[in-house]
Amino acid sequence: MARDMIRLTICIALVVGTIAMAASGISSAAAQTSDDNVKEVPINFSADELDVDRELGIVTARGNVEVNREDRTLLADTISYNQKKDLLTASGNITLLEPTGDVIFAQHLEVSGDLKNGIISDIGMILSDRSRVAASGGRRIDGDLELRNAVYSPCNLCPEDPDRAPLWQVKAVKVYHDKSRRIIEYSDAWIEMSGVPVFYTPFLAHPDPTVDRESGFLAPQVGASSDLGFIAKTPYFLVIDDHSDATITPVYYGEASPGLEAEYRQRLYDGKIDLDGSIVNDDTEDLRGHMNAETLFDIDETWRWGFETKLVSDDTYLRRYGFPVADDTLTTTLYSEGFRGRNYARMEGFHFRGLEQNDDEDATPLVLPLASYHHVGKPDRHGGQYLLDASMASITRSNGADSNRLSLHPAWRNRYIAPRGDVYALTVKLRGDLYYASDHVPTGETNEFEGVTGRLFPQAKLDWSLPMVKQGHNFHQVIEPMTSLVLAPNGSNPAEIPNLDSVDVSFNETSLFNDNRFSGVDRVDSGSRVDYGVHWGVTGKGGGKTNVLVGQSVRLRDDDTFNEGSGLEDQVSDVVGMLKVSPKNYIDMTYRMQLDPSDADLRRNELAVGLGTRSLKFNADYRHLDALGSSEFTGREDAYLGVSSQIDRYWRFSASTLQDLDDGQTRNVRMGLTYEDECFIANTEFSRSFFRDRDLQPVDTIMVRISLKTLGNLQAAVF
C-alpha cells in the first residue's frame, strides 16, 4: 500500500526477545527474536511513503524517513524494517542521533531495531564536543562502535578548502568506541600534522567527550638541567571516586636520585582537602622534600575551620627542583572562624619558616593563639553605630621578646550630610591593651623587662569633605577638598610594650586619613593632628578618566612614634599623592609619590604605564622606595619592562625583564611565543633567572609545551 507525499505516523508495539550474537560479530542476520524474556519496545515511523507487507512483516518507508526508538533517532531517504528479525536496513543520507549528543552519518547501514547492533558503511561522526570521525566502514556492537580505516580530529576544517587536511589528525587501522567504559581506542595509529605523519604508535586511547575525569597516564615531561641532568616526569592521574582524585608523578634525574611528586584533591559536602608534595633522595642532603596542605570544613551554619601549611626540608629545595616560591617565608596556619549577623570571630595560630640564609629560627615567633572578635551594631536613632573589636594574642620565641596581649577597642561613629552637601563623620574610640611581656629590652635600655604593662588610649576623629560637581558638555568633573581633625593624647606607646606587629609603616594616599597608620596593634598613632588633602576627578564622555589625590598630615606637637624615613617622623609629614590617567582604552598610567617637603626629596616614586592594545602593548613599572630607619626594609629601586602582542587570531608574543637599579643587575628575563586555535596550543618560552643563594646559581630555561585537544599535553624543557 503506497501513499505518495502523505506523512504517516504509526506506532507499532513489538515483542522483542534476547538478541543472539554470533562470536564473529554482528551481521544482517545476527539479531534474532526469542520467545523468552520478552518486552514491549515501541518504534515510531514517520515518512512521505509507507508500504506494509503484513505477510512477511516488512515495513518500507521512503522520503524524509524518521525512526524513533527509545532515546535514539534515525533519519534516512529509505528504510526497510523486518519485524520478525527486528532488523532495520537504511540507505541514502543516513543520520543517527545518539543520546550522548553524538551524530553519525552514513550512506548504508543494517542495524537491529534498537539501533544498537549492525553494520555501517562510509561513516562519518560529529561527537558532542564537535570533534570529527570518518571511516570506510564499521560495526555497532551493543551500542559500541568499531571503525575501520578511521580518521579522528577535533580541528575545524578550512572554510576555503574543506578537503585540505586539518592542522592535526589521528589515523588508525581500527578505532573502537567503548560506550560503557567511555573511551576511544586506536590500533596501529599515527598522528599527522597538516597531512604529514609525525608520530606512530601501535596503541592510543583517550576518553570520549562525555568524560570529565578519567584515570590514566598524562603526557610526559622531559628536559635537562645544568645541575640535575636529564629530567623525565610521567604523571599518572587516578580517579578515586566522584569526589576525589590523585596525581602521582615519578621523576627521573640524570645527576641525582629519582624523586616522586604527588597531589591529592577531595571535595566534600561540607569541605575540601588539597594536598601536594614531593620527595627526593638527594646525594648530599639525604631525603629532601616539601608538602603543601589546605583544608576547609563547615562545622555548622555559623562556624568553619581550616588548616593551611607549607613545609620544606631545607631552604633551597623548592627553587632547585623547580617548584614555585611565592614568598621567602612559609606559613602554617590553623584557624576557626564564625559569621553571624553583624558579628565575626576568628581564632588561629601561626608557624613561620624563613627561607633566607640570614633567617634565625630561634628568633622566628610562634603565634598561638591569635583570637579576634568584631561587631558592628545597628544604627541608632541618631544614625550612629557602635563597634567593638576585641583580640588576644600570645607570641613566643626561643630568642627574643615574648608577648601576651589582651585588647578591647569599643567605638562609636556617625555620618551626617549637611544641606549644602558637606559630609561630616565623627568617630570616637577607646583602646585598652593589656600586656604581659618577657625577655623584652625596651628602647634605650639594656636590661630586659618582664611584667605587666599596657595603655588606655582615647581618640576622637572628625572628618569633613565637600564634593563639588561640574557637568560640562563632554566631561563630568568632581573636586573634593577633605580634612580630618584627630584628637588623642601623646606618648601612648610605652617602651615596655614589645613592638612585634607594627615595625614597618607604608604611608601613602590610601593610609593618609586612617585612624591608625600602623598595620598592627602594638603601636598606636598617638597625638593630635590634622590631615588634609584634595581629590580631583574628570570623566570624559568617551570613557576616559583622570584622578588626582594629594595630601599631608600635620601634628600639633612633636611625637617620636614613627621611625626615621617613614614620612611621619616629623611634625609636618611628607606629601603623598597619586595620579591615575586613562584617557582611552589604550593608555593607562598610575603614578604614586611621597615627597619630603624639607628638601623636596622623593622617598617613594612609583610609575606604572600601560600603552597600546592587544595588537601591541607595552608595560613599564618603576619603583624607588627609601629605607625605613631601624626597619629590616633596606630600600628598593627596580624597573620592569614588558611587551606583548596578539599578532593575529592565532599567534601571540610576550617579553619582559626586571632590572635591579640599586646594584645594576638583571633579575630575570622572559620571552614567549604562543600559537593557539580550537584544537592545538604550542608555546615556546625562554627565561633566565639570576637568583643566587648557597647551592643555587643562575639558570637558563627553554620550555616548549604542545597541547593537542582531547589527547593531552606534550612538554619538553632545556635548562
Amino acid identity of 41?
V
Cα separation, 173 vs 194, in Å, equals 19
Query: What pLDDT is stored for residue 40 in this prediction?
Result: 54
How confident is the model over 573-596, as pLDDT tens digits? 999 999 999 987 788 999 999 999
CB atoms within 10 A of CB 467: 14
Amino acid identity of 526?
S
Query: What pLDDT is stored for residue 519 in this prediction?
Result: 85
How confident is the model over 595-647, as pLDDT tens digits? 999 888 888 899 999 999 889 999 999 999 887 766 666 778 899 999 999 99
| Three cell numbers, residue 595 | 615627597
Mean pLDDT across 189-204: 88
Cα separation, 350 vs 165, in Å, equals 59
Pairing label, strands 665-676, 680-689:
antiparallel
In sequence order, the 6+-apart residues with CB closer than 8 A to the CB of 473 are none
Length of the chain: 719
Mean pLDDT across 563-579: 91
How confident is the model over 453-479, as pLDDT tens digits? 999 999 999 999 999 998 888 888 999
Mean pLDDT across 78-95: 85
Cα separation, 582 vs 578, in Å, equals 13
CB 78 within 8 A of CB 65: yes
Nearest residue to 63 via CA among 38, 36, 45: 45
Scored b (16 or more CB within 10 A) or e, 56-73 reads eebbbbbeebbbbbeebb
| Three cell numbers, residue 99 | 543520546
Q: Is the pLDDT of residue 22 over 50?
A: no
pLDDT winner (highest mean) among 15-24, 61-70, 104-113, 189-198: 189-198
Distances in Å between the alpha carbon of 456 and those of 408, 435, 463, 479? 10, 12, 23, 39
Query: What pLDDT is stored for residue 696 in this prediction?
Result: 65
For residues 347 and 14, the model is more confident at 347
Distances in Å between the alpha carbon of 191 and those of 172, 201, 534, 570? 9, 9, 66, 72
The mean-pLDDT minimum among 148-152, 221-225, 270-274, 657-661 falls in 221-225
Nearest residue to 316 via CA among 665, 686, 690, 697: 697
In sequence order, the 6+-apart residues with CB closer than 8 A to the CB of 107 are 91, 92, 93, 94, 121, 122
Cα separation, 463 vs 481, in Å, equals 11
- Coil, helix or strand at residue 361: helix
Cα separation, 120 vs 107, in Å, equals 8
- Coil, helix or strand at residue 600: coil
Alpha helices in 180-332 (DSSP H): 317-320
Q: What are phi and psi of 362, to 5 degrees?
A: -70, -25
Give 616's DSSP letter. E
How confident is the model over 208-220, as pLDDT tens digits? 777 777 787 776 7
CB 415 within 8 A of CB 424: yes
User: What distance lies between CA 426 and its chain's CA centroid?
Assistant: 41
Query: What pLDDT is stored for residue 579 in this prediction?
Result: 96
Cα separation, 225 vs 208, in Å, equals 37
Cα separation, 554 vs 459, in Å, equals 16
* Stated pTM of the model: 0.75
CB 466 within 8 A of CB 476: no
- What's the longest Cα–Cα distance across the chain? 116
Cα separation, 642 vs 657, in Å, equals 7
- Coil, helix or strand at residue 363: helix
Cα separation, 57 vs 54, in Å, equals 5
Cα separation, 190 vs 175, in Å, equals 12
Nearest residue to 365 via CA among 329, 338, 337: 329
Query: What pLDDT is stored for residue 5 in this prediction?
Result: 33
Please report the sign of the dihedral spanned by the C-alpha atoms of residue 36, residue 42, residue 45, residue 51.
positive
Mean pLDDT across 388-397: 95
**Residues paired with 609 in a beta bridge:** 589, 620
Q: Is the pLDDT of residue 57 over 50?
A: yes
Amino acid identity of 536?
W
For residues 173 and 541, the model is more confident at 173
Q: What percent of the chain has pLDDT over 90?
A: 41
Scored b (16 or more CB within 10 A) or e, 489-516 reads eeebbeebbbbbbbbebebbbebbbeeb
Task: Categorize the per-residue pLDDT at 233 as very low, low, confident or very high, splitting at 50, 70 and 90.
Answer: confident
**Residues paired with 168 in a beta bridge:** 193
Pairing label, strands 712-718, 221-225:
parallel
Q: What mean pLDDT, rounded, does the chain reach?
A: 84
* Cα 85–Cα 90–Cα 96 angle in degrees, nearest 5: 105
